[in-house]
Structures are given as structure tokens and as C-alpha cells.
């Protein structure tokens, strides 16, 4: 490769790193002809930690579900991790979901299984169903231990998941998501059941993953100080519409109060 060719390739590589891994345009979702989301636009780039805010019924969870095909997109487009979510066949939908790590309020661990085994289940989409019978490879086990160390609980690897505290279980869930080798992480109210100190530590962990690994994290939250402390950008939904999108540094609690003052509750936050 010549020097001129190398110089030309560098901006292209940089562009690929900054292209949105989540790109939504004019997105609408309705259940039984009842609109839940309408005209939503958003971009999430590699390395972003983006907080999604809104009152109950604003459509936060519906937006999260629409990005992996669990909510019906009735208009607009959504591209996630290189997939056009609005036009996916079933097989490609499975591939999309394997490329998106998901972290939930309820940790969704298997309580009787060890912490290590719970993390290993994150490899199933890529490793294949044979592992359910024959056990995981040593490479997978080493990788799972690496991620447990990354989230700070490698010393708990042999314990049953049910023996861990809530904050520790959420860390296991994050390690399991990383085991998927995801291109994007969606975290739907991941700290809602944790006390403030644990919530801070979990969000710090997710932001570190976004920054250090370049895996963008879209996290829905309901506590304004947490969003202001742990995100690069904030998206605000109200009554199914995106009311604001701005760098976190430009926002404060009074600016965000518009998302909640007089908020209607005509829909459940699906």
C-alpha cells in the first residue's frame, strides 16, 4: 500500500468508527391502532453512553423493544448494528438479537446455576446448541472469566447466582451480555431495583464499556441525577415523541423537567 493510499484509507476507517450503530428515522409504533411512539429520530454512535428519559407511559421500553424487533414498527426505519430492523426475516432477526447485548431491570439469571455458567450462556448464539450438551470450550470459559474479572466479581464464579446481591447479579448480567460479543448494548432500567450507590457503580461500569470498548450503550433511566452523572447525551421522550436530544453537559434538572411536568399517563410504558 502506497503512502497516498494509506492516507486515503485512514479517514474511511475513522468514518466507520463514527457511523451510528443505531439509526432511527421517523419511527412509529402502535398497538391495536393506539400510537405509542410517533416520529422518533435518533442516532447512537460507537463509544456513546446515551440515557433515555421519560415518564411512565412515554414509550421508553417500547423504543427499546422496537430496536430488536420485539415491538411492531408501523412506520419509519430503524437500523441497528448494520441490520434494517423493519425488513428482517426470522433468521436475520435472530442474528440481530445475538449482536445486541441486553440488560434488564430483572437480571434474568438462572438462580441455581453458577455465576460462570450464567455468563457462558451469553455465548450460545455464536457457539451453537451443541454446547448445551457437551459443555463449553476452554476458550469460552477463559473469556467468561475475563468478563467476570472485567465487572469485578471473578471471585464469585463458582457460586450459584442466587447467592449474590442485586448489584452483583446485575454485574453478572452485564458480563453475560459482553459474552455475546455485542456491537450494541441496550439497558432497560438496569438500576431501578438497586440502591443509589450500587446504581452508580453499575452505570459507571456500563459507561466504561462504552468508552473503552467502543460498544455504544443506550440506557433507559427514571432518575435524573443518574442520567446527568453517567451519560454523554440524553434523549427525552414525552407522550411517544422525542422532545429533546442534547449533550448531557448542556442540560440540568430544570431543563429536563419538561419531560415530566403535566405528563399524561394514557399509555403504559410497554
Decide: helix, strand or coil at residue 66.
helix
- Across 12-157, the runs of DSSP E, i.e. the strands, are 22-31, 34-44, 49-53, 73-80, 83-84, 100-104
pLDDT at 1: 44
pLDDT at 17: 57
Q: What is the CATH number of the domain that holds 93?
A: 3.40.50.300
- H-state helical runs in 180-219: 196-213
Residues in the chain with pLDDT values less than 70:
1-18, 126-135, 262-270
pLDDT at 235: 97
Decide: helix, strand or coil at residue 157.
coil
Question: Per the domain annotation, does 200 fall within a domain?
Answer: yes
Question: Per the domain annotation, does 235 fall within a domain?
Answer: yes
pLDDT at 198: 92
Question: Per the domain annotation, does 48 fall within a domain?
Answer: yes
Of residues 91, 60, 89, 48, the one with CA closest to residue 248: 48
Question: Per the domain annotation, does 166 fall within a domain?
Answer: no
The tens digit of pLDDT for each residue in 28-71 reads 999 988 899 999 999 999 999 999 999 988 999 999 999 999 99
Domain that holds residue 77: 20-111+183-259
Question: Per the domain annotation, does 85 fall within a domain?
Answer: yes
The number of CA neighbours under 13 Å toward the Cβ of 135 is: 4
pLDDT at 136: 79
The DSSP code for 130 is: T
Question: Per the domain annotation, does 156 fall within a domain?
Answer: no
Is the CB of residue 235 less than 8 Å from the CB of residue 27?
no
Our count of domains for the chain comes to 1
Amino acid at each position: 500500500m502506497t503512502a497516498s493510499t494509506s492516507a486515503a484509507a485512514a479517514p474511511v476507517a475513522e468514518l466507520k468508527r463514527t457511523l451510528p450503530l443505531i439509526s432511527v428515522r421517523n419511527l412509529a409504533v402502535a398497538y391495536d391502532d393506539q400510537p405509542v411512539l410517533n416520529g422518533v429520530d435518533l442516532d447512537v454512535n460507537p463509544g456513546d453512553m446515551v440515557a433515555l428519559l421519560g415518564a411512565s407511559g412515554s414509550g421508553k421500553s417500547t423504543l427499546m423493544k422496537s430496536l430488536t424487533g420485539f415491538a411492531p414498527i408501523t412506520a419509519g426505519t430503524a437500523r441497528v448494528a448494520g441490520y434494517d430492523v423493519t425488513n428482517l426475516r426470522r433468521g436475520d432477526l435472530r442474528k440481530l438479537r445475538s449482536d445486541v447485548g441486553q440488560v434488564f431491570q430483572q437480571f434474568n439469571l438462572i438462580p441455581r446455576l453458577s455465576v460462570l455458567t450464567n455468563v457462558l450462556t451469553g455465548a450460545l448464539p455464536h457457539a451453537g446448541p451443541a454446547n448445551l450438551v457437551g459443555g463449553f470450550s476452554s476458550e469460552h470459559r477463559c473469556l467468561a472469566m475475563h468478563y467476570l474479572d472485567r465487572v469485578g466479581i471473578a471471585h464469585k464464579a463458582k457460586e450459584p447466582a442466587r447467592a449474590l446481591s442485586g448489584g452483583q447479579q446485575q454485574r453478572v448480567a452485564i458480563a453475560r451480555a459482553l459474552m455475546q460479543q455485542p456491537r450494541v448494548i441496550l439497558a432497560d432500567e438496569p438500576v431501578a431495583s438497586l440502591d443509589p450507590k450500587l446504581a452508580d457503580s453499575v452505570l459507571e461500569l456500563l459507561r466504561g464499556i462504552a468508552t473503552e470498548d467502543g460498544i455504544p450503550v443506550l440506557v433507559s433511566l427514571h432518575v435524573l441525577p443518574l442520567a446527568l452523572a453517567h451519560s454523554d447525551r440524553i434523549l427525552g421522550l414525552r407522550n411517544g415523541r422525542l422532545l429533546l436530544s442534547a449533550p448531557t453537559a448542556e442540560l440540568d434538572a430544570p431543563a429536563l423537567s419538561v419531560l415530566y411536568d403535566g405528563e399524561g399517563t394514557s399509555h403504559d410504558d410497554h
